[in-house]
Structure 1
Amino acid sequence: MRQQCLFLCLCVFVGFVQNAKILSIFPMHSHSHFTLGFNLLQEMAKRGHQITFISPYPQKKPLKNFRDISIANIKPALDELKKELFRLEDGSPIDNFRYMSKMGRAFTELGLASEEVQNLLKSKNETFDVILIEHFYNEAQFALGHHFNAPVVLLSPMPSSVLNNHLFANPSPSSYVHNLFAPFIQYMTLTERLKNFYYDTMMAYYQYYEELPFQKKIMEKFFPNAPPFEEILYNSSLLLMNSHPSFSDPVPHMANIIEIGGYHVLPPKKLPDDLHRYLNESKNGVVYFSMGSILKSNVLTKEKRKCFIEAFSKLKEDVLWKFDIDIEDLPPNVKILKWAPQNEILAHPNVKAFVTHGGLLSTIETIYHGKPTIGIPVFSDQKFNIAASEKFGYAIKVPFDGITEKKLTKALNEILNNPSYKENAKRRSAIMHDQQVKPIDKAIYWIEYVIRHKGAPHLHCAALDLSWYQRSMLDVLAIIAGAIFAVIFIFTFAVKTMCGKKRKTNTKLKKQ
């Protein structure tokens, strides 16, 4: 009996890692990126792990098992770069990629150069069991794994793309895996596939010959004793992917690429009393409007603001608008919030629709809570997110550059009065919720898995040890092509030789 109890205890605790020391860096100056890291690490701290978190958003009140290392000093430099975001609406996918690369190099170097991070790197008493890094144009920071002699787990804030597939030799054919910066959906036309192949090729070229060389210089500057950059680049143990078939395309993934999309959505907290009362007492329901944390609303021109105000004034519904500055002469049905608890607002049953820029986290929260959407994409993956939302039947796209009061009014009337949008939103929500394991539990399990198995080298794919032409079988195809050419050449030569001899024989016979 005693042995049976011991066996049951072992079964319960197998796979459990207690009190691991975890260093995590989420350097992007964006509250949505911070949320991805904080929600996961906060939960790991609650489960007994010791967390050291490098980010631009330190906590005002200390948390148990949680140490903040602030890099808030990088904000001013990146605020200047953010002002360019609204200009990217008409930019090509390649323009978007290059802009994000420029921003990535800035926060990567500024983050590593900060005094707080330098103190951490110079300390001789710091040890960690795993390094969790948000991967977003910051490959130089992968060297933290070598510096602390710990395995590296990457977390991508977006689905698999040209940005991360090469790190794990993940297959991504341009024929059906869309470029994340292009507004294509899974089933592309011939023209779209041509464009998709072009975008993939050009971004890969830019990445290998411009982006990564910059990251290499940054790594060599801050980690002069690190191994060659290529060795650091392809040595990560695991990639946690912010994707799921409920909002992103089903595509191939290697064994060490794990989908955890939706993990950041936590159970709704209690709303502030005034906001709770506002949502409850709205007789005709509420439309929630937010352009996210990066795209500050005060960058909107007066003409565009006027379009929104006039369109909102025609609604019988109330409008809750997350806006960074006060506006005079607002219609009585519009309320401005300078800060809004988005997850809790979307969870409220009286919210009828969401007007959004289509950022991935907002898209996930929209589906999680089953809300119909009007999408106003501006840059990066937002165009695809809205295109996919339209395909799923719960969204209407209104291009940012071509916004008019008439277009907004038409879209709002359609989304609020056609029940099919709400039905389709609920259908997608059901798909997201129907999972065997909660995404956050899945994410924590795999981080602990890497710790248990000392970096999990058994998940390393042999493709990473092959050259690009070997992975594409170009060397094999060259041999096959050479063999076919040799056979054709020999056959042609033999035929010509035989024909030549036959002509000579016929000529001799004629002379005789």
Structure 2
Amino acid sequence: MAINGGIPLVLACCIWLLPNGCDSSSRILVVPLDGSHWVNMEIILKELHSRGHNLTVMLSAKSWYIPVKSPFYTSIVMKSLEDDIDLTFYDDMLKRNLKYRKMGSFLSFIFQQWDLTSMFAMGHGILSKAAAEIFDDQVFMAQLRDAKYDLVLTDPGLPIGVLFAHYLNLPMVFNVRWINIGDSHFTFAPSPVSYIPLTLTGLSDRMNFQQRIVNMIYYIISVLQQHLVLDPPYRELLERHFPPGSSMLSMQHAADIWLLRADFVFEFPRPTMPNVVYVGGFQCKPSKPLSAELEEFVQGSGEHGLIVMSLGTLISSLPQEITEAIAAAFAELPQRVVWRYIGVRPSTLGNNTLLVEWFPQNDLLGHPKTKAFVAHGGTNGMYEAVYHGIPVLGLPLLFDQYDNVLRLQVRGAARVVEVATLTKDEFLDALRDILENPSYRNNMQRLSRLHRDRSMSPMDSAIFWIEYVIRHKGAPHLRTEAYKLPWYSYHSLDVAALLLVLIGTSLWVSFTVCRILCCKFSSKKKQKQN
């Protein structure tokens, strides 16, 4: 979910605000998230830089993956608090999560929601305090304003970029998939929970009555998290530095363009809005040749082919007993395996498995000998698998990962196994099913053809709309006025209440008139009888 990024924090250590490139190009302030989110943002920034735009990136001094020095952007480096989240946080969270998943479904739900809510509260508490110190630094904020940027490009998974855009009164473009507590669609578009599953539910868009109850419960929880956990830490900051009535939701609604990292080849169909541009898979590209050493290993797989395995950027390794089971299963296969792995070497590792700390994932997935992708279900990896037509065996760990793999499983292009209780035999059976059943590969290749069949590439769409907002100094004509309505007006509850009153009044008047007429008629009848 949204927290898997570094948090830009507290005071400016150093700031380079002079642009590179031609004077006529636009100046863009970029506020990214770390981790896998940065992988996407960096690709867009390189393309913007190649087109002559001047980029300034705000990053944390404790950033995991965002470099301070770069040939295509300048930097504003922020100090970090001592209790800033580091990568070990997610390893510990995974251990707790796997323990919860071994419990019954109800207890698992309670503990996972509590853990997630606690994480939200801690992360936004840290960020809000840091943001308050930044905004209280009048010299720094004056320097930022004097830089006269044309646009803020940000990932709103954490909202500090949104705060900067509104404070500087600049047009705002989101590079987004998740926002605060879940799928960003629930923020910008009508999202009926009768057929749109919430993140973490593990549901598809075809729900029975019981599943719709579960989906509604998750929705209510998400609303409570927004108003009781996420909003309160920022209220004092908003009162001091922003106009009365400002809220995080209203600021997010004001984004000119949402570059949404999604594609309906992958997502379930749902309502959308005119200022949303779907750029899912924009990071995907044709594979490049492998290094000589890696190519030699891959070619050694012969007719059996290659399996690629990665657990992404956040989790360093699985618990040892699960790792041993996976390694033992790989050892019984005729295929060769390239496994991105950090940790103690499994004792059950076979000669057919190569452990590496890093590999060119896109190039391996695009290699003609690759037969399957064993993955945690991160969005980037899923889109690369779709792009290259490689079926997936999902080992979802945290956040949205189960929901991502589920979308491919529903389409017959993937299979999901439960990591918490995984055994060697279960993993081996699932992997053999993926390798030997041609329907998985056929379905994934069909998705690949659909995904590639576009009038404009996702990257070209992203750059066009960023430059569109710069050219027109915003795109307010694409934003709906629905965001300004109170909730009761949005759902027409005030209209319904008035209609109910009118109908009730009409019925009461009609009943009263009829009663009076009946009484008069009865009275006259009695008089005649007498």
TM over 0.5: yes
Paired residues of 1:78 and 1:107 also in contact (CA < 8 A): no
* Partner SS for 1:469: helix
Matched, 1:325 2:343: yes
Q: Which amino acid aligns with 1:48?
A: G
Q: Which residue of 2 aligns with 1:26?
A: 32
Q: Which residue of 1 aligns with 2:505?
A: 486
Q: For 1:300-342, what per-residue CA distance to the aligned partner results, in whole angstroms no more than 9, with x for missing partners?
A: 2222122112211111111111111240532111111111221
Paired residues of 1:373 and 1:415 also in contact (CA < 8 A): yes
The 5-angstrom pairing of residues 296-335 of structure 1 reads: 296-297=316-317, 300-327=318-345, 329=347, 330-335=349-354
The 5-angstrom pairing of residues 217-296 of structure 1 reads: 217=236, 224-228=240-244, 229-230=246-247, 232-283=251-302, 284-296=304-316
Q: Which residue of 2 aligns with 1:346?
A: 365
Compared CA separation, residues 476 and 242, structure 1 to 2 (3 A): same
Q: Which amino acid aligns with 1:227?
A: P
Q: Which residue of 2 aligns with 1:49?
A: 53
Equivalent residue in structure 1 for 2:156, among 135, 145, 170: 135
Q: Which residue of 2 aligns with 1:7?
A: none
Whole-angstrom CA distance in 1 between matches of 2:119 and 2:466: 27
TM-superposed deviation, 1:402: 2.0
TM-superposed deviation, 1:226: 2.8
- Count how many residue pairs are aligned between Structure 1 and Structure 2: 485
Whole-angstrom CA distance in 2 between matches of 1:39 and 1:120: 28
The 5-angstrom pairing of residues 332-411 of structure 1 reads: 332-411=351-430
Whole-angstrom CA distance in 2 between matches of 1:191 and 1:249: 20
Paired residues of 1:108 and 1:141 also in contact (CA < 8 A): no
Compared CA separation, residues 446 and 18, structure 1 to 2 (3 A): farther
The 5-angstrom pairing of residues 404-443 of structure 1 reads: 404-443=423-462
Paired residues of 1:181 and 1:380 also in contact (CA < 8 A): yes
TM-superposed deviation, 1:251: 1.5
Compared CA separation, residues 277 and 72, structure 1 to 2 (3 A): farther
Compared CA separation, residues 113 and 26, structure 1 to 2 (3 A): farther
Q: Which residue of 2 aligns with 1:144?
A: 164
Whole-angstrom CA distance in 2 between matches of 1:215 and 1:375: 37
Whole-angstrom CA distance in 1 between matches of 2:142 and 2:48: 26
Worse-superposed segment, 251-260 or 227-236: 227-236
Q: Which residue of 1 aligns with 2:10?
A: none
TM-superposed deviation, 1:21: 0.7
Whole-angstrom CA distance in 1 between matches of 2:365 and 2:31: 29
Q: Which amino acid aligns with 1:67?
A: T
* Partner SS for 2:415: strand
Whole-angstrom CA distance in 2 between matches of 1:348 and 1:70: 39
Compared CA separation, residues 154 and 288, structure 1 to 2 (3 A): same
Q: For 1:5-49, what per-residue CA distance to the aligned partner results, in whole angstroms no more than 9, with x for missing partners?
A: xxxxxxxxxxxx961111111134x2x111011111111111111
The 5-angstrom pairing of residues 126-205 of structure 1 reads: 126-136=147-157, 138-158=158-178, 164-165=184-185, 167-168=187-188, 170-205=189-224
Paired residues of 2:413 and 2:444 also in contact (CA < 8 A): yes
Compared CA separation, residues 448 and 278, structure 1 to 2 (3 A): same
* Partner SS for 2:329: helix
Q: For 1:102-158, what per-residue CA distance to the aligned partner results, in whole angstroms no more than 9, with x for missing partners?
A: 46416734874899997864526422110011011x234312113333211112134
Q: For 1:455-481, what per-residue CA distance to the aligned partner results, in whole angstroms no more than 9, with x for missing partners?
A: 112122111221111111111111222
Q: Which residue of 1 aligns with 2:15?
A: none
Q: Which amino acid aligns with 2:27?
A: K
Compared CA separation, residues 360 and 217, structure 1 to 2 (3 A): farther
Name the % identity: 28
Compared CA separation, residues 282 and 396, structure 1 to 2 (3 A): same
Worse-superposed segment, 104-113 or 224-233: 104-113
Paired residues of 1:358 and 1:377 also in contact (CA < 8 A): yes
Q: For 1:180-227, what per-residue CA distance to the aligned partner results, in whole angstroms no more than 9, with x for missing partners?
A: 23211122222222221221122112212321222334556xxx4333
Whole-angstrom CA distance in 1 between matches of 2:391 and 2:79: 35
TM-superposed deviation, 1:290: 1.2
Name structure 1 gaps, 5 residues minimum.
1-16
TM-superposed deviation, 1:101: 2.4
Equivalent residue in structure 2 for 1:476, among 468, 487, 495: 495
Compared CA separation, residues 208 and 159, structure 1 to 2 (3 A): closer
TM-superposed deviation, 1:389: 1.0
* Partner SS for 1:84: helix
TM-score (norm 1): 0.87
Compared CA separation, residues 302 and 352, structure 1 to 2 (3 A): same
Compared CA separation, residues 440 and 159, structure 1 to 2 (3 A): farther
Matched, 1:88 2:97: yes
User: RMSD value over aligned CA atoms?
Assistant: 2.9
Paired residues of 2:305 and 2:371 also in contact (CA < 8 A): yes
Compared CA separation, residues 61 and 305, structure 1 to 2 (3 A): same
Paired residues of 1:184 and 1:192 also in contact (CA < 8 A): yes
Compared CA separation, residues 202 and 61, structure 1 to 2 (3 A): closer
